[in-house]
Structure 1
Amino acid sequence: MQIKEQAKVYDVIIVGSGAGGGMATKVLSEAGLKVAVVEAGPYFDPADPDQMTQLKWPYESPRRGAGTVRPFGDFDTAYGGWEIEGEPYTHKDGTKFDWFRSHMLGGRTNHWGRISLRFGPKDFKHKDIDGLGDNWPIGYEDVKPYYDKVDKLIGVFGTNEGLPNDPDGFFLPPPKPRLHELFYIKGARKSNIPVIPSRMSMLTKKINKERGVCFYCGQCSRACQVYADFSSGSCLIFPAQKNGGQVDLYVNSVVREVTTNEEGRATGVSYISKDDRKEYKLKGRVVVLAASACSSARILLNSKSSQHPNGLGNGSNVVGKYLHDSTGASRAGFIPDLMNRKMYNEDGVGGMHVYTPWWLDNKNLDFPRGYHIEVWGGMGMPGYGFGFNPNEFNKFFGLPTGGYGEGLRADVKKYYGSVIGFGGRGEAIAREDNYCEIDPTTVDEFGIPVLRFHYKWSDFERKQAKHMQETFEELIHNMGGEVLGDRPPKEEDYGLLTPGRIIHEVGTTRMGDDPKRSVVNKHQQLHEVDNVFVMDAGPFVSQADKNCTWTILALAWRASDYLVDQLKQQNI
C-alpha cells in the first residue's frame, strides 16, 4: 500500500475526540500548540440542521425510533455500537465482552447519560481498605483542582451533601424530582437508603454566551442543538477553534499505529482514510492517545518495531491487561398508586433527577466496593417498545390489558407511567486475567489486526449483583409495588449484564510508579516513550462506583498541563 506523508509537522497529534481527546485539544491548542485531531468517524455538530435529530417525533422514523439503525434508537447520536460492519473483534476461552465504539467527532460524549461524578478519596486508595487490586499513584488531592476546573468550565448540577467519598463540587441548581422520583425517595427512606439530587452535566443556568440552557426535552441522547449538555465537540473542540487555537481535524481517519524513529521515539501516526481507502502519515512532536481504553491499547499493541517488538510502551507486557467495566444489573416494578395519572409534560432532563450514592459499609457485606442506584420511570415521550408491555401486566398481575384500538389506548393511558425501574452501577475489581490482545489471525476491513477479548466476572461482582436485586425488590415493596419478573438466579449471575454493556471500560494502559507493572506514569506518559501520552480511561487503576467521564476530563486536563510544562522546559 502506498503511504502518503503530510509535510506539516504538528506539536501534538491527538487520536480520538471524546472526553479525553476533546479536553486535550482545548488545553493544548489554547496553550499555543499546533494540534491535529484524528477521529475515526465523521464530523458532527448537533446544531447542524442536516445532522440534528433532537425534537423529532417517533413517527418520523420508519421504525418508530426502534434501535435498528443505531444501538439506543434511530435518533440516538451514536455512530457505531457494539457491532460495526467490517470492524470485528473476537473472544477466547468462551468468554464474553461487548465492545462499544462511537465513531464520530465527540465520540461517546454525544449520547452518554451525562452522569458527572467525582471519584472520592477512598476510590484512589482502595487497596488500603480491602487489600484488593492496587492503589493509584495519585490521590484525590491531586485531581481535586482539576475536578473544580471541569465543574466551572463545563457545568454540572447538583447539591453539596458533605458525603466523604462522594465529593462536593461547584454545582448549578438541580431540577426538582418528578412524581415517580418522589415515590422513590419515600420508599428509599423506609430502608434508610439515601437519595440526593443527581449530578449531571446539563446546564440549568446560563454560564456563557456560547451555550444555551436545558429546556427539558429529555432527549440528551440525541446531543443538544443549543449546546446545553456536555459533548466534547460543542463544549471543548469548537470553542478551542473559535478561541484561536490551531486545530486541524482529520475525520473519517482510522489510526493504524504510532510511528517511531530509530531511537524508538514517536514521530507521529499512520491512518487509513475512509474516504479514499489510502494510508497517510502525520508527523508530530508528541502523540496523545485518547481513542478509548481498548482502542488506545489496540493502537499501542499494533505499533511494533525493532525497538518495541511487543508493541509501543509494552515492555512490561501490561498493555491491554486489567481491563474492567462497571457492573450492571436492573429491575423494574409496577406501582399501583401511579395508575390513571393525568397526562402532562414531565420530561425534565435526559435522565434521572435524583440518584442514590453508595451508602453501606463493606465490613458488614460479603462483597467489596459498592454501587450507586440510577432511577427511571415517568411519562416521557415513548419510543418503540418503551415502558409498557401489556403481556407483562397480564402475566404477573392478571390485569385485563392488550387488544387493539380504543381498548388498548385506554389501557396504555391507565398504566403508562406506573412502572419504576432501577439500574445498579458498581465497581468490579481490576484483574490481570481480564484483558484485550491482538488477534493473530483476524484483521478489519482496513487491514488492521483486531482485538481479542478475555473477560470473566468473579464472585465479588456476582454477590454485588445479588445485593442489587435484593435492594431493588425491597425498594419496590416499600413503594407498595409489585416486582416485574423473577429474580435472575445464580446461574444467570443474578442479572449481571455482559462485561462491556455499561460502556465504562477502563484500565488497559494502567497508571503506576513501577514500569514493570504499569504502562504510564502518574502524568499519563508512557514509561518507555516520553513523547506519547494516554488521556482516555486506559490509565485508570480502578473504576470506583461512579461513571468515569468526569475523571477522564480532569485527568486529561492535568496531563495536558504537565505536557505543556515539559515542552516549555524542553524535556520532551
Structure 2
Amino acid sequence: MQIKESPETFDVIIVGSGAGGGMATKILSEAGLNIAVIEAGPFYDPADPVSRTQLKWSYESPRRGAGSTRDFGDFDAAYGGWDIEGEPYTKKHGTKFDWFRSRMLGGRTNHWGRISLRFGPLDFKRKSIDGLGDNWPISYEDVKPYYDKVDKLIGVFGSKENLPNDPDGFFLPAPKPRLHELYYIKGARKANIPVYPSRLSILTKPINDSRGVCFYCAQCSRSCSVYADFSSGSCLIFPAQKSGGQIKLYTNSMVREVVTDDSGKATGVIFINKLDRKEYKLNAKVVVLAASACSTARILLNSKSKVHKDGLGNSSGLVGRYLHDSTGTDRVAFVPELMNRETYNEDGVGGMHVYSPWWGNHKKLNFPRGYHTEIWGGLGMPSYGFGFNITGLNKFIGGQVGGYGNSLRDDIKRFYGAVIGIAGRGESIPVESNYCEIDPDVVDEWGIPVLRFHYEWSQHEKLQAKHMHQTFEDIFDGMGAQVLGDRPNKENDYGLLTPGRIIHEVGTTRMGDDPKKSVTNKYQQLHDVDNVFIVDAGPFVSQADKNPTWTILALSWRTCDYIVSELKKQNI
C-alpha cells in the first residue's frame, strides 16, 4: 500500500491515550515538546452532551441498561470490549484468555473502578520473600516521589493507616460507609479481617478550577461530566491542551508498527486511519508506547526490520512473555435483616466506600502473595437483569417467591437492597510460559497480524481463590448473611475467573538490568533502542495485590522526566 508521510517531525509520538499515555502527554508537552498522540478509537469527552450518558435512567436504554451494545451496559463509558468486530485474537493449546480492548480517547480510564492503590515496599522485591518470579530493578523509594505527585495532581480519597505494605499518600476526605458496607464491616471484624476506607481517585473536595466535585451519583463507570473522577482525557490531556501544549491528536488511528532506520533507531510509526482506511507515517525523535501491555507487545512484535528481525526490542525473545492478570473470584449473599428496608438515595461514589487490603502471612498459608477484597450492594439503580434469581431464596425464607405481575414486583421490593457481593482481587505469579505472540495466519481488518495467547493458572492462583471463598463465607457468617449458590471447588478452579477478565494484564515488556532477561531498563526504555519507551503496564515485573493504574501513572511521570533529561543532554 502507498503510505502518506507527514512532512512534520514531532519531538515525541505517544501511542495510546490511557493512564500512561495521558500522563506522558501532560508531562512532555509541559516541557515544551511537540507531541503527537495516536489513539485507536474516537475522540471522547464525558462533558459533551451528545456522548454523555451520566444521569440517564436505565429505562432509556433499549435493554434497560444491559450490555447489548457495550460489555458493561449500554450507558457505560467503554467503547471497545472483549470482542471487537474485525479485530480478532486467537488462543493456542486450549488457552482461556479474554482480552479487553478500549477504543476511545482516554482508554480504559473512562470506565475503570478508580481504585487507586500504591504498590508497597514488599511488592517490588517479592522474589526475595518467596523465591518466585523476579525482583524489580527499582524500589518503592524510587517511585514514592511520583506517587506523591500523582496524588496531588489527580486527587485520591482515603485515610492514613500506617500499613507497612499499603503506603499512605495525600488523601482527600473519604465518604462514609453505606448500610451494606456497615454490614460488611460487622462481618469482617468478626472474622478478624481489617477494614479501611477505600482509596479511589474521585474528588470529594475541590483541588483546582478545572474539575468539579463528586455529587454522589454512583455512575463513575459512565465517566464524569464534571470531571470529578479520574479519566485520562479530562484530567491530563484536556488540561495539557488548555495550558498551551503543542499536542496533535490522531484519533481512529490504528498503529501497525514502529519504523526504524538502517541503524535500528526508531524514526516514527505507521498507522491506518480507520475512516479513510489509508496508511500514514509520522516521524519523531522519540516514540512512547502506551497502548496497553498486550497491544504494545503486538506493535513491537510486528515492527520487524533487518536490524530487529524478531521484532523491535525483542533481542531477549521476551516481548509478550511473563503476561499476567490479577486473580479474581466473587460470591453473593442475602442478608435477611435487610429485607423490606426503606428505600432512599444512598448512591455515594461510583465504587466501594470501604475495602480490606491484604492481611495475611504467606508463611502460614499454602499459597504465595495475597489479595484484597472489594464490596458491592445497596440501593443501586436497577437495570436489566437486576438482582438475582429470587426463587433461590425459598430455602432460606420458606414459602414460594417470584411469579408474575404484582407478586413479582412485591417480592423484588422486599429483597431490593438485601444482597451483598464480595470479590477478591489478587496477585498471580508471573511465568515465562504465559505469553502473547503474533499469530502467523490471522490478520485483523486493517491487515495487521493479530495476537495469539497462551495462558494457564498455576496451583498458586487456584489455592488463593480457594482461600478467597473461605474468607467470603467467614465474613458473610459474621454479618448474618446466607450465601447464594454452591461453593466453587477444585473441578472449577475454585471459581477463578478466566485470565484477562480483571483487565489488569501486565508484564509483556518487563523491566530489568540485564538485557538478556528483560525488555526495558528501569526507566522503561528499550534495551535495544534508546529512543523508544513504554509507559503502560507492560514493564511491570509483578502485579502486586493492588490495581495497577496508580503505578502506571507514577512510572509514566518518572519515565517522562528521564526522557526530558536525556533530550537535554542530547543522549537520545
Shorter-chain TM-score above 0.5: yes
Question: Hey, what does 2:363 align to over in structure 1?
Answer: 363
Say yes or no: does 1:390 pair with 2:390: yes
User: Which AA in structure 1 matches 2:46?
Assistant: P
**Where do 1:51-62 residues align within 5 Å?**
51-62=51-62
- In structure 2, C-alpha distance between the alignment counterparts of 1:57 and 1:350, rounded to whole Å: 16
Question: Hey, what does 1:540 align to over in structure 2?
Answer: 540
CA contact (8 A) 1:16 1:291 kept: yes
Question: Hey, what does 1:477 align to over in structure 2?
Answer: 477
**Residue 395 of structure 1, CA deviation:** 6.4
- In structure 1, C-alpha distance between the alignment counterparts of 2:196 and 2:567, rounded to whole Å: 43
CA contact (8 A) 1:535 1:559 kept: yes
Question: Hey, what does 1:465 align to over in structure 2?
Answer: 465
**Where do 1:295-334 residues align within 5 Å?**
295-334=295-334
**Where do 1:365-444 residues align within 5 Å?**
365-394=365-394, 398-444=398-444
**Residue 397 of structure 1, CA deviation:** 5.1
Question: Hey, what does 2:344 align to over in structure 1?
Answer: 344
Question: Hey, what does 1:154 align to over in structure 2?
Answer: 154
**Where do 1:13-28 residues align within 5 Å?**
13-28=13-28
Residues 395, 17 of structure 1: CA spacing in aligned structure 2 closer, same or farther, 3 A cutoff? farther
User: Which AA in structure 2 matches 1:251?
Assistant: T
**Residue 401 of structure 1, CA deviation:** 1.7
Q: Matched residue of 1:284: which SS? A: strand
Question: Hey, what does 1:549 align to over in structure 2?
Answer: 549
- In structure 2, C-alpha distance between the alignment counterparts of 1:244 and 1:350, rounded to whole Å: 32
**Residue 390 of structure 1, CA deviation:** 1.9
- In structure 2, C-alpha distance between the alignment counterparts of 1:530 and 1:437, rounded to whole Å: 23
Residues 443, 190 of structure 1: CA spacing in aligned structure 2 closer, same or farther, 3 A cutoff? same
- In structure 2, C-alpha distance between the alignment counterparts of 1:499 and 1:318, rounded to whole Å: 20
Normalising by structure 2, report the TM-score. 0.99
Question: Hey, what does 2:570 align to over in structure 1?
Answer: 570
**Residue 391 of structure 1, CA deviation:** 2.8
Name the stretch that deviates more: 389-398 or 347-356: 389-398
Q: Matched residue of 2:282: which SS? A: strand
Question: Hey, what does 1:453 align to over in structure 2?
Answer: 453
User: Which AA in structure 1 matches 2:10?
Assistant: Y
**Residue 394 of structure 1, CA deviation:** 3.5
CA contact (8 A) 2:372 2:426 kept: yes
CA contact (8 A) 2:512 2:520 kept: yes
CA contact (8 A) 1:396 1:484 kept: no
**Residue 506 of structure 1, CA deviation:** 0.1
CA contact (8 A) 2:10 2:285 kept: yes
Question: Hey, what does 2:265 align to over in structure 1?
Answer: 265
Question: Hey, what does 1:518 align to over in structure 2?
Answer: 518
Question: Hey, what does 2:489 align to over in structure 1?
Answer: 489
Normalising by structure 1, report the TM-score. 0.99
Say yes or no: does 1:74 pair with 2:74: yes
- In structure 2, C-alpha distance between the alignment counterparts of 1:400 and 1:293, rounded to whole Å: 50
Residue by residue over 1:402-453, the C-alpha shift from the partner in whole angstroms, topping out at 9 and shown as x without a partner, is 1222222211111111111100000000000000000000000000000000
**Where do 1:88-237 residues align within 5 Å?**
88-237=88-237
Residues 96, 521 of structure 1: CA spacing in aligned structure 2 closer, same or farther, 3 A cutoff? same
Q: Matched residue of 1:421: which SS? A: strand
**Residue 481 of structure 1, CA deviation:** 1.1
CA contact (8 A) 2:190 2:478 kept: yes
**Residue 398 of structure 1, CA deviation:** 4.4
**Residue 56 of structure 1, CA deviation:** 0.4
Q: For the aligned residues, what is the CA RMSD?
A: 0.8
Residue by residue over 1:258-294, the C-alpha shift from the partner in whole angstroms, topping out at 9 and shown as x without a partner, is 0000010000000000010000000000000000000
- In structure 1, C-alpha distance between the alignment counterparts of 2:329 and 2:493, rounded to whole Å: 10
Residues 534, 42 of structure 1: CA spacing in aligned structure 2 closer, same or farther, 3 A cutoff? same
**Residue 386 of structure 1, CA deviation:** 2.3
Question: Hey, what does 2:243 align to over in structure 1?
Answer: 243
Question: Hey, what does 2:558 align to over in structure 1?
Answer: 558
- In structure 1, C-alpha distance between the alignment counterparts of 2:330 and 2:550, rounded to whole Å: 24
User: Which AA in structure 2 matches 1:203?
Assistant: L
**Residue 158 of structure 1, CA deviation:** 0.1
User: Which AA in structure 2 matches 1:541?
Assistant: V
Residues 395, 108 of structure 1: CA spacing in aligned structure 2 closer, same or farther, 3 A cutoff? farther
- In structure 2, C-alpha distance between the alignment counterparts of 1:348 and 1:388, rounded to whole Å: 22
Q: Matched residue of 1:468: which SS? A: helix
- In structure 1, C-alpha distance between the alignment counterparts of 2:397 and 2:274, rounded to whole Å: 53
**Residue 95 of structure 1, CA deviation:** 0.9
- In structure 2, C-alpha distance between the alignment counterparts of 1:551 and 1:396, rounded to whole Å: 44
Q: Matched residue of 2:24: which SS? A: helix
CA contact (8 A) 1:257 1:269 kept: yes
- In structure 2, C-alpha distance between the alignment counterparts of 1:281 and 1:313, rounded to whole Å: 20
Residue by residue over 1:115-159, the C-alpha shift from the partner in whole angstroms, topping out at 9 and shown as x without a partner, is 000000000001010000000000000000000000000000000
CA contact (8 A) 1:393 1:399 kept: no
**Residue 396 of structure 1, CA deviation:** 6.1
Residue by residue over 1:544-565, the C-alpha shift from the partner in whole angstroms, topping out at 9 and shown as x without a partner, is 0000000000000000000000
Residue by residue over 1:73-106, the C-alpha shift from the partner in whole angstroms, topping out at 9 and shown as x without a partner, is 0001110000000000000111111000000000
- In structure 1, C-alpha distance between the alignment counterparts of 2:402 and 2:387, rounded to whole Å: 14
Q: Matched residue of 2:280: which SS? A: strand
Residue by residue over 1:145-174, the C-alpha shift from the partner in whole angstroms, topping out at 9 and shown as x without a partner, is 000000000000000000000000000000
**Residue 191 of structure 1, CA deviation:** 1.4
User: Which AA in structure 1 matches 2:15?
Assistant: V
- In structure 2, C-alpha distance between the alignment counterparts of 1:435 and 1:346, rounded to whole Å: 43
Name the stretch that deviates more: 409-418 or 561-570: 409-418
CA contact (8 A) 2:59 2:383 kept: no
**Residue 305 of structure 1, CA deviation:** 0.2
Q: Matched residue of 1:10: which SS? A: strand
User: Which AA in structure 1 matches 2:159?
Assistant: T
User: Which AA in structure 2 matches 1:151?
Assistant: D
- In structure 2, C-alpha distance between the alignment counterparts of 1:506 and 1:368, rounded to whole Å: 18
Q: Find runs of 4+ consecutive structure 1 residues off by over 4 angstroms.
A: 395-399
Q: Matched residue of 2:453: which SS? A: strand
Residue by residue over 1:322-379, the C-alpha shift from the partner in whole angstroms, topping out at 9 and shown as x without a partner, is 0000000000111101111001000000110000000011110000000000000000
Question: Hey, what does 1:42 align to over in structure 2?
Answer: 42
CA contact (8 A) 1:90 1:453 kept: yes
Q: Matched residue of 2:141: which SS? A: helix
Structure 1 unmatched runs, 5+: none
- In structure 2, C-alpha distance between the alignment counterparts of 1:250 and 1:154, rounded to whole Å: 25
Q: Matched residue of 2:374: which SS? A: strand
- In structure 2, C-alpha distance between the alignment counterparts of 1:273 and 1:415, rounded to whole Å: 50
- In structure 1, C-alpha distance between the alignment counterparts of 2:134 and 2:228, rounded to whole Å: 38
User: Which AA in structure 1 matches 2:510?
Assistant: R
- In structure 2, C-alpha distance between the alignment counterparts of 1:540 and 1:401, rounded to whole Å: 50
Identity %: 76
User: Which AA in structure 2 matches 1:115?
Assistant: I
**Residue 389 of structure 1, CA deviation:** 2.6
**Residue 399 of structure 1, CA deviation:** 4.7
CA contact (8 A) 1:388 1:412 kept: no
CA contact (8 A) 1:376 1:421 kept: yes
Residues 381, 283 of structure 1: CA spacing in aligned structure 2 closer, same or farther, 3 A cutoff? same
- In structure 2, C-alpha distance between the alignment counterparts of 1:391 and 1:23, rounded to whole Å: 49
User: Which AA in structure 1 matches 2:237?
Assistant: I
Structure 2 unmatched runs, 5+: none
